[in-house]
Amino acid sequence: MSQLWGGRFEGRPDPRFHAFQASLSVDQRLWREDIAGSIAWAHALARAEVILTDEAHSIEAGLRAIAAELEAQPALFAQSSAEDIHDFVESRLRSRIGDLARKLHTGRSRNDQVATDFRLNLRVLGAQIGLALEELQSALVQLAAKVADLPMPGYTHLQRAQPVTAGHFLLAYVEMLERDRERLQQALARMNVSPLGSGALAGTAFAVDREQLATELGFSRPTRNSLDAVSARDHAAELAFMAAQCMVHLSRFSEDCIFFASQEARFVRLSDAISTGSSLMPQKKNPDGFELLRGKSARVIGALQSLLVLQKGLPLAYDKDLQEDKELCFDALDTVRECLAVAAILVNNIAFDEARCRTEANKGYSNATDLADLLVRGGIPFRDAHERAGLVVRAAIERGIELDDLAAADRARLLPELVHLDDAAWRRELSVDAVLARRRVTGGTAPERVRAEAARWKALLHSRVPLAHVSAPVSRTSNPT
Ligand code: ARG
């Protein structure tokens, strides 16, 4: 029979039902937060003169001893039949300090307790994801600085469009990750409020100082509505969205890298350290790492979907459905943290095939826009210039040559406005380096821009203060009074 709620029950729970409704296997990872929250709650009860200061000290000492014990022997959970982490900690406290432990739950509910533990834990997990994001950004920026000048084909509709620099390609993903980081930071700030003192649903009946309690646990303030405090899980969905969007970014990056590493493109080479072979085909070298990043985005998107559906239609306030929140949210956040770390390893193990990138960037008429622009610079309206350049492309395709190779006679016929360009000047104007260099507008792909951007990112990442709250909450908790 549960020590937490057995009083009004005559019958014993069915063992299969107990196992079904228990959550220790998932919420055991909240133990540090549960203990920190309980220590703070004991302090608050003492300050409200609900328990004696000495009693609060004994409770705190017992809880700290349990923390030390769990730190040393995490296997203790496996032997426990406790319903959840709150049950686990309280019954362990009882065996340590006896009946005094029975005072700790005064004015508190597992509903405000789990809401508090979860927020505290997500804060730590969020900070770890923040670090993983920054490490991946650093890896990308470092590689981008190396290939800031390197031309490669740029695509729209997966058709060659205009050349870009490889550094520009990489920094595009740094931008995406930066927005993921902003979203993470904003979500963490928004959820950093303390539900403790909300009780089961209506607020505690004891005069605890919730502001002080919030401060002690590192929250910015207490929640303002107890019904909302015990039932809100939008912070879990918000973090899962952040994770899902970040995984979508990793998935798109993976897709690009998989294509770039293919025999068809051969723009990058994957080192052996991050490649796998085929059990059948001896020649194969497969990009499994990138494929897994792409694949794992599916489960994170699924977790976000589940977290939203979980909340839909739930009446206020707490409902046991909400117990499903943690497994989903942890899976999403653990996955994105792990994937970010692996993505950084992958980035450190790819190398651009510079000769191949440069050669291919010169092919496929991706300088046709610049031919039209040359006409525009000579005073021709863009629509007409576009038409004329299109005719020139068609002629080049018929001859099986690139625009650069078009003979002077053909140019004189098709492009009389450009007769002043001799062969060398014609090639120079349409060269990939000229095409790239022209795009030095803010946000453009010109090597000078990309070099400056890589340097800006390096400085920014170097001076960046990590998102807070990486340390375990137990050690930060202070004494009462
Ligand atoms: N294990 C529960 C959860 O994760 C804790 C809260 C239980 N509250 C209750 N009234 N049964 O949601």
Domains and CATH numbers, the chain: 15-106 (1.10.275.10), 111-155+164-354 (1.20.200.10), 361-459 (1.10.40.30)
SS3 per-residue string spanning 214-252: HHHCCCCEECCCHHHHHHCCHHHHHHHHHHHHHHHHHHH
Residue 384 has pLDDT above 50, yes or no: yes
* Closest among 415, 364, 381, 334 to 158, alpha carbons compared: 364
**3-state percent breakdown (helix, strand, coil) of the chain, nearest 5:** 65, 5, 30
Diameter of the chain by CA atoms? 102
Ligand 1 center to residue 401 CA distance, Å?
Answer: 71
Q: Return the amino acid letter for 278.
A: S
Give the nearest ligand 1 atom to 83 CA: 1
Span 115-130, pLDDT tens digits:
999 999 999 999 999 9
Mean pLDDT of the chain: 95
Ligand 1 center to residue 87 CA distance, Å?
Answer: 10
For 384-440, list the strands marked E by DSSP: none
Mutate to test the pocket of ligand 1, among 320, 324, 326 (most ligand atoms within 8 A of CB): 320
Instruction: With beta carbons less than 8 A apart as the criterion, state whether 285 and 277 touch.
Output: yes
Ligand 1 center to residue 109 CA distance, Å?
Answer: 9
Give, using CA atoms, the residue closest to atom 12 of ligand 1.
323
- Beta bridge partners, 163, equal 153
Q: Which two tokens stand for residue 53?
A: 């200061």
Query: What pLDDT, on a 0 to 100 scale, did the predictor assign at position 279?
Result: 84
Give the nearest ligand 1 atom to 26 CA: 4
Residue 151 dihedral angles phi and psi, to the nearest 5°: -75, 145
Residue 162 dihedral angles phi and psi, to the nearest 5°: -145, 150
6: confidence class by pLDDT, cuts 50, 70, 90: confident
Give, using CA atoms, the residue closest to atom 3 of ligand 1.
323
Span 60-114, pLDDT tens digits:
999 999 999 999 999 999 999 999 999 999 999 999 999 999 999 999 999 999 9
472: confidence class by pLDDT, cuts 50, 70, 90: very low
Mutate to test the pocket of ligand 1, among 5, 27, 105, 111 (most ligand atoms within 8 A of CB): 111
Give, using CA atoms, the residue closest to atom 7 of ligand 1.
110
Span 367-376, pLDDT tens digits:
999 999 999 9
Q: Give the residue numbers marked as catalytic.
A: 157, 278
State how far the Cα of 96 lies from the Cα of 86, in Å rounded to an integer.
15
467: confidence class by pLDDT, cuts 50, 70, 90: confident
Ligand 1 center to residue 228 CA distance, Å?
Answer: 15
The angle, 0 to 180 degrees and rounded to 10, between the axes of the packed helices 447-462 and 166-191 is 30
Give, using CA atoms, the residue closest to atom 2 of ligand 1.
323
Ligand 1 center to residue 187 CA distance, Å?
Answer: 23
Q: Residue range 386-415: average pLDDT? A: 96
Q: Residue range 306-311: average pLDDT? A: 98
- Beta bridge partners, 352, equal 268
Give, using CA atoms, the residue closest to atom 11 of ligand 1.
320
Query: What pLDDT, on a 0 to 100 scale, did the predictor assign at position 2?
Result: 62
Span 131-188, pLDDT tens digits:
999 999 999 999 999 999 999 999 999 999 999 999 999 999 999 999 999 999 999 9
Query: What pLDDT, on a 0 to 100 scale, did the predictor assign at position 12?
Result: 84
Ligand 1 center to residue 84 CA distance, Å?
Answer: 8
For Cα atoms 351, 354, 359, give the angle at the middle one, nearest 5 degrees: 140
Mutate to test the pocket of ligand 1, among 18, 110, 118, 325 (most ligand atoms within 8 A of CB): 110
**pTM reported for the whole predicted model:** 0.94
Ligand 1 site, CB within 6 A: 23, 27, 84, 110-111, 114, 318, 320, 322-323
Q: What share of the chain has pLDDT > 70, as a percent?
A: 96
